[in-house]
């Protein structure tokens, strides 16, 4: 469920008519619903009632300061994968003891910043990282709490570019080597082993891969405890999918996911961490674009929008589907026609949809990409010197720009021309 609904024939973001925002900030733009963010966060918290838990929002899905601060105010922790995301979380008021640092390529500077600024744990992904973290922590006279990310060799049955739990993926250590790595970690100075981490991929629409991975984590927990390791925390990752296409069968609900976690690891007397991103932020945002031209081609017609692949890269990168709807609700039973929906960037890949049935639209009309709150603005670029588009947040009948569109001068003036040119 989201809070982007038609009222009196006009798409609203909560209680704000979308055309009102367009008139204020111009198109294209992203808009996020605080009510949807709140609801989706609480779906996970409610699903884990009865076990000690922390829901850490995966910031890579949407790292706007307003989004982070709102979720942090609800009690969310943060899962970060870079020094920049760590800095964003701290700037948004997230305490260090609610920040988990993931990622395969943590640098010494990133480790140092998190150790001195406060950190809940590092999810360590390799032995070289473990050794380097030990050296950095020791040099600071501090102790780094860690989990080891194990790769359970479970096929998440998701897109190959967002699968992370198979043996040929770059993430984690093979679960078969866990004995040796945990023994090594326990012997290192400046390292405190607190638990186990696993994450098998993103946009999962079936609970079976989760169950297979979590059962392996359960068995490993009992095994490591028998060897004397104090495993008191299980980071079970994220990855629960959302329905991008409204006609598709809905993915499992957070309640079903929570029931699975309780069934598999609920009796282990551990604190459970989960790291949802997409399911919290995905349906909490839409991308609104204007139609520039309706173009007739050879055997196909095109809707040319003012949004482009640099604003929403998912269709070009992943072949991802987003429902695209007119902001003015079409009449019931109106005839639809197939269009290729494209942007203005000089790339054939700048295509959002092919042969997509659409009701009649005209230049100047507005359309909305649903389920665009995750991996949308956060992955945007200024390719073709196209400014990053505004991000807007709504609450009830109010809206605010939470990231403005830069001017061309602001973009150009970031470049420095050497005096010898």
Residue by residue, DSSP assigns 228-297 as: T----EEE----B---SSTTSPPPPPHHHHHHHHHHHHTTS--EEEE---HHHHGGGEEEEEEEEEEEE-
Quick one: CA dihedral 157, 163, 168, 171, positive or negative? negative
d(CA 249, CA 241): 11
Taking the alpha carbons at both ends of the chain, their separation in whole angstroms is 56
Residue 249 pLDDT > 70, yes or no?
no
Q: What is the pTM of this model?
A: 0.93
Confidence category of residue 158, pLDDT binned at 50, 70, 90: very low
3-state secondary structure of 59: helix
Least confident range of 1-5, 81-85, 350-354, 408-412: 1-5
In the chain, domain spans: 4-31+283-412, 34-281
pLDDT of residue 161 exceeding 60, the answer is no
| pLDDT on residue 314 | 95
151: closest CA among 103, 200, 218, 212? 200
Using pLDDT thresholds of 50, 70 and 90, give the confidence band for residue 164: very low
Mean pLDDT of all residues in 238-249: 74
Angle, helices 127-140/178-187, rounded to nearest 10 degrees: 10
Q: Which two tokens stand for residue 228?
A: 């004397």
Catalytic residue numbers read 346
Of the listed ranges 197-201, 306-310, 370-374, 389-393, the least confidently predicted one is: 197-201
Given this model, what pLDDT does residue 176 score? 87
Please name the residues in contact with 237: beta carbons below 8 A apart, sequence gap of 6 or more. 197, 198, 199, 200, 274, 275
pLDDT in tens, 384-400: 999 999 999 999 999 99
Predicted confidence (pLDDT) at residue 101 exceeds the cutoff of 60: yes
Q: How confident is the model at residue 200, as a pLDDT?
A: 84
Percent of the chain with pLDDT over 90: 84
CB-CB contact of 46 with 74 (8 Å): no
Overall average pLDDT of the 184-198 stretch: 97
339: confidence class by pLDDT, cuts 50, 70, 90:
very high
Strand partners, 339: 356
pLDDT at 421: 92
Query: Does the structure show a pLDDT above 50 at 318?
Result: yes
Average pLDDT over residues 328-356: 95
Could you tell me the sign of the dihedral formed by the alpha carbons of 91, 96, 99, 100, in that order?
Answer: positive
Say yes or no to pLDDT of 159 above 50. Answer: no
Write down the CATH number for the domain with range 34-281: 3.20.20.10
Residue 380 token pair: 């945007």
168: pLDDT strictly greater than 80: no
CATH topology of domain 4-31+283-412: Lyase, Ornithine Decarboxylase; Chain A, domain 1 (2.40.37)
CB neighbour list of residue 277: distance below 8 Å, 6 or more residues apart? 57, 58, 59, 60, 61, 62, 79, 202, 238, 374
Please tell me the distance from the alpha carbon of residue 94 to that of residue 88, in angstroms, as a whole number: 9
Q: Is a pLDDT exceeding 70 seen at residue 169? A: no
Tell whether the model's pLDDT for residue 243 goes beyond 80. no
Tens digits of residue pLDDT in 194-240: 999 999 877 788 899 899 999 999 999 999 999 999 999 999 998 88
């Amino acid at each position: 469920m989201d809070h982007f609904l038609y009222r009196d024939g006009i798409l609203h973001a909560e209680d704000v008519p979308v055309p009102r925002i367009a008139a204020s900030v111009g198109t294209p733009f992203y808009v996020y619903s605080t009510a949807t963010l709140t609801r989706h966060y609480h779906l996970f918290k409610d699903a884990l009632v009865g076990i000690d838990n922390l829901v850490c929002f995966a910031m890579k899905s949407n790292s706007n300061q307003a989004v982070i601060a709102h979720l942090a105010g609800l009690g969310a922790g943060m899962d970060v994968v870079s020094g920049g995301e760590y800095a964003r979380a701290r700037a948004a008021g997230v305490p260090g003891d609610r920040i988990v640092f993931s990622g395969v390529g943590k640098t010494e500077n990133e480790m140092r910043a998190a150790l001195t600024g406060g950190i809940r744990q590092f999810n360590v992904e390799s032995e070289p990282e473990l050794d380097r973290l030990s050296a950095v922590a020791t040099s600071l006279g501090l102790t780094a709490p860690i989990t080891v990310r194990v790769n359970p060799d479970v096929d998440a049955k998701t897109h190959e570019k967002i699968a992370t739990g198979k043996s040929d993926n770059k993430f984690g250590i093979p679960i078969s080597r866990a004995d040796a790595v945990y023994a090594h970690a326990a012997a290192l100075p400046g390292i405190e082993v607190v638990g186990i981490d696993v994450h098998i991929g993103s946009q999962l629409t079936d609970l079976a891969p989760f169950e297979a991975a979590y059962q392996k984590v359960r068995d490993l927990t009992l095994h490591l405890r028998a060897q004397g390791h104090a495993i008191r925390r299980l980071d079970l990752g994220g990855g629960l999918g959302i329905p991008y296409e409204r006609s598709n069968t809905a993915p499992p609900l957070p309640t079903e996911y929570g029931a699975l976690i309780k069934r598999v690891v609920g009796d282990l007397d551990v604190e459970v961490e989960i790291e949802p991103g997409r399911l919290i932020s995905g349906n909490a945002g839409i991308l609104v674009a204007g139609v520039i031209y309706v173009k007739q081609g050879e055997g196909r017609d095109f809707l040319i929008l003012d949004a482009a692949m640099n604003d929403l890269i998912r269709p070009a990168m992943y072949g991802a589907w987003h429902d695209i709807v007119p902001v003015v609700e079409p009449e019931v039973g109106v005839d639809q026609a197939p269009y290729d929906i494209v942007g203005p960037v000089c790339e054939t890949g700048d295509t959002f949809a092919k042969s997509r049935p659409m009701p009649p639209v005209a230049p100047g009309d507005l359309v909305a990409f649903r389920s665009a709150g995750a991996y949308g603005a956060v992955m945007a670029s200024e390719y073709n010197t196209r400014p990053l588009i505004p991000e807007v947040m709504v609450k009830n009948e109010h809206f605010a720009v939470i990231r403005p569109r830069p001017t061309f001068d602001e973009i150009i003036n970031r470049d420095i021309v050497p005096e010898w040119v």
